[in-house]
Amino acid sequence: MIGKLNHVAIAVPDLEKAANTYRETLGAKVSAPHPVPAHGVTVVFVELPNTKIELLHPLGDKSPIAGFLEKNAGGGIHHICFEVEDVVAAGETLKAAGARVLGDGAPKIGAHGNPVLFLHPKDFFGTLVEIEQVPAA
């Protein structure tokens, strides 16, 4: 079912500093910050040859990553995202297998404009898993 690893998302307390570290210390290609108000985050994309790292910082009062940064003040890996062809079908298959889909179970439009679902980390060994519907290339 799952296809490519679309991205690894890392929550960081200082987005400019993290972007500079990835750009200057690690020598990666790093985007400008993209505010995504609907998701309560500002994102910097680190483009690698085969996938992306997304550096996330809270945006607004109800950011879903604010609590994570309270518990992990220095930052940390927040989630990983796998691509699927059909996120509704994938969600049904996962639920039938006993995995919990977060929220109301309906896909939301993610930061890349594609429908996404998040799966409960307790069902995936402490890893918050996002699945994103990405049309076949």
Positions that interact with its own copies (CB under 8 A): 1-5, 8, 10-13, 18, 21, 24-28, 48-51, 53, 55, 72, 74-77, 80, 82, 93-94, 97-99, 121-127
Please indicate whether residue 130 is annotated as part of the active site.
yes
**How many angstroms separate the CA atoms of 87 and 47, rounded?**
24
Least distance between its own copies and beta carbon 83 (Å): 9
Residue (20 or 60) nearer to its own copies, CB: 20
User: CA–CA separation, 33 vs 14, rounded Å?
Assistant: 12
Catalytic residue among 54, 83, 130, 132: 130
In order of 35, 100, 118, 131, the CA distances from 103 in angstroms are: 22, 9, 8, 14
